[in-house]
Structure 1
C-alpha cells in the first residue's frame, strides 16, 4: 500500500469538500469571510494592522451568471472562473490565503547561538524543517503552523507550540477567528505550496506569493469535522506505514539470515555422497596451472593454502611459511567444505576498473556504481558511453562478463554494495567495462558464480563498514576483498544452495510487491 499516495488522496478529498458530508444548517463560509473582513478592519482601526496589510484584500463571489468574480480594493472586478482549479460545495467559498490568515517569516539567528540540545532557560528554534536547535530567547508564543520557505524545504509544514523562536526560514501562520487550526494545518499541506517557489539553484517561497494562493473555505463547523476526520484517517495511515516498515525490516533481516545460513552450510541438508570441496580446490589449482602455462595469469609465489592440522586447528601455508589462523576463522563449516581466500577463487585479479574517458555516444558502455542500484539490482540503463579512442587500454579480461560480482568500492551510502551482473541485464548488448569506483569479482569456472555472489552479498553489511580514508572519500581497497575467507562447499552443493536461495528470494519478493 502506498501510504504517501493515500495521505495525499485524503487531503485532496478534504480540500474539495468530499471527505465529510455537508450540513445545510452550517453557517455559510461567505458569512465567515465577511466576519474576518470586519475583524481586519477593526485591527486596522486599533493599530494592530496597517492599511498596507489589507491593500491587496479582495472578495470572491458568484455572479448572477453562476461564474466566479473577484472584487479588489480599487473597485475593479475580474472574472476568475478559469483560475479556480475545481468546484466546491455551495456553502463553501473561494478566497485568497491572505483572507483567512496572516503570514510572516521569523528573524535570522546566528548558527553559533543555536545549541544542539535543550538547556535550562532555552527555547526551541524553528527553521523550515521543524526544530533545528535551542536558543536563549523566543519571538513567538502560541500554536502555529510553520511553513518552510527555502531550498528543499519550501512548502514544508510543521507545528510549533508554546514559546519558541522562528528563524527567517520559518513562516509563522496566524489564523483569523473562525478558522479551525487543525483544518488549516492540513489544508496548507494539501495546497502543495512548494509549487509556488521561485529560483532554480536555491528555491525560495515569497510570503506575498503564498498569501495570494486560492483556498477553498468551508463553514467553521465543517472545518472542524474535516480536521477531525483527517486526523483520524492519518493516524490509521501512520499505523499502516509503521507496520509496513516493520515488515520491510523483517524481510531485510530474513534475506540476510537466509544468506548467512547458506554460507554456513545450514540452509540445506548435506549430502555425504557429494565430492568434497577439497577435490574442487584441486581442480581450481589445475585450472590455474593451465592458465599460467598459457601466460594468461601470473604465478603467485606465496599462494595461500588453508588446511586443518592434526590438532583440529586451521593453518595457512604461504610459500614456505605456515601459521595458525584459528582466530581468523569466523564460524564452523561442514566437514566436506573448505576455507579459501577470495583471491584464490578468482580467475581475474581483484581490482577496480579504470578511470574512463566518456563520450556522448559510442558502442561501448561504462559500468558505474550507480548501475549497481540499492533496490533494483543491475540497471545498465544508467551506464554512460566510453570514448572508443581509449579502447586500447582495455584487454578482453577488463570487459565485464556474465556472472561477474560487482562491488561498489567508493562513495558514502554506496560503498560495499554487492551486485550480480548477467548478460541479460545488458539490453543494448554493447560491450561494457567497469569504472574506477567498481571492483569486479570473477571466479574460476569450477566455482558457481552465483555462490560467490551469495557469499559477497551475505557480507555486504560488513563490507559497508570496511571503507578506509576520510569520511567523504572512503574506499574499499582490493586487498580487503582479496583476503576475505570464503567457506567453499562442494560443487554440487553450490548448485543446491543457488536453487534454494532463488526459490526463497522469489517468495520474499512476492511479499515485498504486495506491500507496494
Structure 2
C-alpha cells in the first residue's frame, strides 16, 4: 500500500466512524443538524444567505430504511440505494448543502485594469494545496468585488475545485479571499470546518466520478450540495480531526521512506550491473587461466584487420595510429607514441596476461557508406521499437548486424545493432569493433562510460558524444577465451538480477 492509498484508507475509516470510538455521552448529530437548520433559517430571514429550496431531513424509518423528507413540499422518498455505508449510532446522514452556505467564485474581466492589482486575494484552483491557503498570486480591487458577483470567503471557509485537472482538491481559507468560478466554498454553520475539509479530501474519487461524462470533469455547486455526507456528533468530529492530524505526519514519514525504497528498487539493478561491469573491466570477475595465454597476440591481429579495412576504404588511415601501453619495472604505466615514451595515469591495475590499449585501437566511429536507393531510416525511435520507420532514397548505409552509436542527444553513447539493412539516422555513427574482441563485452564497456562520453558541442545545449574522450579511454584486453568467460559470467549474473 502506497502513501496515497494509506491516507485514503485513514480518511475512509474516519468518515465511516471507524477511526475513533464513539462516546454515548456525546450530543447526537440529530441535535446538531436541528441547530444548524435553525441557524440557516435565521440567516435567511436576515437576508445574509439564500434559502435552500431543496432543504431536507434524512431519517431512518421503522422498517429500517432511509428516507428523505423535503421541507418545502413535505414530500418523502426512500433513498436506501443512495446510502453508501452504515454509520454508527448517534451519527446522521444529510445533504452537504444542509451544513453550511455554499457559493462559487467568478473571474473579473481580464481586460479591465481597474479590477486587478488591489489588496483582495483572488484564488485559482491551482493554488488549492490540501492545506491552509494564506495568500494568492493575483489580487483584485474593491471595484471588482462590488461589480463582478464575487463571493468574499471568510477565514476558515472550506474550498474545493469543481472542475479541470484539480477537481476535488481542497483547502481552508487562512485569510479572507475570493476565488475563480472553478472553486466552490462552504462556510460551515455548526460542523467543524476541518471535519468537512477531511471529508471532502477523502471523497475526491467520488466527486471525480460524479463529474464524468463531459468534455472535462465537472461536479458543479448543485452536485456538491446534493451529495450525501455522514455527520458525527460535534465532539466526535473534533476527536476524528485530532486523530487524523496525529496520523498524517506519520503517513508523510512513511511516504518519504517508501519513496526512498522505490528509488533504491528502481536503481539497484542498474547499480549492480555497473558494479559487476567494473569488476569485469578490472579482471576481477573471473580468474585468469595460464593455459589461455596472453592477450598481446590480439594486438597484431587487430592491426592486420585494420590494415585490410583501410585498403578496402572502410576505415581511414588515421585508424592505424595506435600507441603502445605497457607496465614498467616500477609498476607504473607508460605509453609509447612514435618512439616517444611518457608515463600515463591508469584507473586500474590490470592482470599481467592482459594487454592495455586506448579504445581507439579496437573501435572506430565512421559515417557509413553513402548509398542511393530506398532504405528504412534507422533512427532512435525506430530502433527502440516506438516507431514504424520512414523510408529514404539516400543516406549512410549500414548492414543488418552492424553496430551504430547515438552521438547526439540525451542518450548519446547508446549502442544499437542494426536489425536490418538501412540508413543511419542523422544523429548516429557506425561503430566498428575489432572482430577479435568479444562484442558484448566491448559494448558493455562503452555503455558503462556513457555519462563520461557525453559532452556538449561548444555553444550547444544538446549533449554530444565526445570523440576525443571516446578514443582516449584506456581498456584492458584479456585473452579471447577469458573475454568469453567474462561475458558469460556477466550474462549469468544479470539474468539473476533481471537487468
TM-score, normalization by structure 2: 0.68
Do the aligned residues in 2 keep the contact of 1:150 with 1:169 (CA within 8 Å)? yes
Cα shift at 1:41: 1.0
Q: Deviations over 1:295-320 (max 9, x none)?
A: 7x822344375636899787999xxx
Change (3 A) 1:421 1:238: farther
Change (3 A) 1:263 1:157: same
Q: Report the Cα distance in structure 1 between the residues aligned to 2:362 and 2:251, rounded to whole angstroms.
A: 50
Q: Which runs of 5+ in 1 are unaligned?
A: 358-365, 373-379, 424-429, 510-516
Aligned twin of 2:149: none
Q: 1:183 aligns with which of 168, 176, 195?
A: 195
Q: Deviations over 1:397-453 (max 9, x none)?
A: 66679xx7986976xxxx428889899xxxxxx989999699698774524425534
Does residue 127 (structure 1) correspond to residue 125 (structure 2)? The answer is yes
Does residue 48 (structure 1) correspond to residue 35 (structure 2)? The answer is no
Does residue 459 (structure 1) correspond to residue 474 (structure 2)? The answer is no
Change (3 A) 1:416 1:66: same
Q: Secondary structure at the match of 2:84?
A: coil
Q: Deviations over 1:175-204 (max 9, x none)?
A: 221x22332222112112222324655444
Aligned twin of 2:30: 30
Q: Deviations over 1:352-383 (max 9, x none)?
A: xx9979xxxxxxxx9975996xxxxxxx6xx5
Greater shift after overlay, 488-497 or 78-87?
488-497
Aligned twin of 1:87: 86
Q: Secondary structure at the match of 1:150?
A: coil
Alignment of 1:295-306 (within 5 A): 298-303=314-319, 305=321
Q: Secondary structure at the match of 2:174?
A: strand
Do the aligned residues in 2 keep the contact of 1:450 with 1:498 (CA within 8 Å)? no
Q: 1:237 aligns with which of 235, 251, 263?
A: 251
Q: Report the Cα distance in structure 2 between the residues aligned to 1:298 and 1:244, rounded to whole angstroms.
A: 53
Q: Report the Cα distance in structure 2 between the residues aligned to 1:316 and 1:100, rounded to whole angstroms.
A: 88
Aligned twin of 2:68: 70
Aligned twin of 1:97: 96
Q: 2:440 aligns with which of 440, 444, 449?
A: 449
Q: 2:363 aligns with which of 331, 344, 353?
A: 344
Do the aligned residues in 2 keep the contact of 1:337 with 1:490 (CA within 8 Å)? yes
Aligned twin of 1:332: 347
Cα shift at 1:44: 0.4
Alignment of 1:333-412 (within 5 A): 333-334=348-349, 337-341=356-360, 344=363, 369=381, 383=386
Cα shift at 1:8: 1.9
Do the aligned residues in 2 keep the contact of 1:150 with 1:203 (CA within 8 Å)? yes
Q: Report the Cα distance in structure 1 between the residues aligned to 2:119 and 2:489, rounded to whole angstroms.
A: 63
Do the aligned residues in 1 keep the contact of 2:158 with 2:171 (CA within 8 Å)? yes
Q: Which runs of 5+ in 2 are unaligned?
A: 130-134, 142-151, 327-331
Q: Report the Cα distance in structure 2 between the residues aligned to 1:97 and 1:197, rounded to whole angstroms.
A: 16
Change (3 A) 1:385 1:493: closer
Aligned twin of 1:377: none
Do the aligned residues in 2 keep the contact of 1:128 with 1:154 (CA within 8 Å)? no
Alignment of 1:479-490 (within 5 A): 480=466, 484-485=470-471, 486-490=473-477
Do the aligned residues in 2 keep the contact of 1:94 with 1:215 (CA within 8 Å)? yes
Q: Secondary structure at the match of 1:143?
A: coil
TM-score, normalization by structure 1: 0.66
Cα shift at 1:101: 3.4
| Structure with max Cα Rg | 2
